[in-house]
Amino acid sequence: MCLYNLIYYIRNQMESNRLKNSIAYLFLVLFLSMKVGGLHVLSHTDDKDHTSHCTICDHAVASDLTPLVTPDTLDFSIESNEYIVLREVIKDYNFIISGTITAEQLFSRPPPFLV
């Protein structure tokens, strides 16, 4: 009975993943179709008169120039708050010199296993 439940669970997950992938691919194709629509302009290399009246070119340019999110208000101000923290400058660095160096301190890591 446990194996049957596992197979049922895997099958449901695959179906939901297939649906999610299909939706993602649909949005990807829609997005790329608008971007590839801009390549239509290259077909107007010979047509000098038709370029200004082409509807496809107008939609491609309009979609490229339209912002995704329009702000409600364009009037805003930026406040720059600078906090100054006064610290004492340390001029001396104190450390202890040890006259002996052990073998563990000579190398930072072991040598490679295979050369």
Residue 18 pLDDT grade (very low, low, confident, very high; cuts 50, 70, 90): confident
Ordered by start, the domain boundaries in the chain are: 25-42+52-63
Q: Dump the DSSP string for 15-66.
A: HHHHHHHHHHHHHHHHHHHHHHGGGGGGGGSS-SSGGGG-HHHHHHHHHHHS
Answer with the residue of higher pLDDT: 24 or 59: 24
Residue 74 pLDDT grade (very low, low, confident, very high; cuts 50, 70, 90): low
Residue 102 pLDDT grade (very low, low, confident, very high; cuts 50, 70, 90): confident
Output DSSP code: residue 89.
P
Helices (H) and strands (E) in the chain, counts: 2, 0
What is the pLDDT, as a whole number, of residue 48? 65
What is the pLDDT, as a whole number, of residue 24? 83
Residue 30 has pLDDT above 80, yes or no: yes
pTM score, whole prediction: 0.34
Tokens in use for 60? Answer: 């491609």
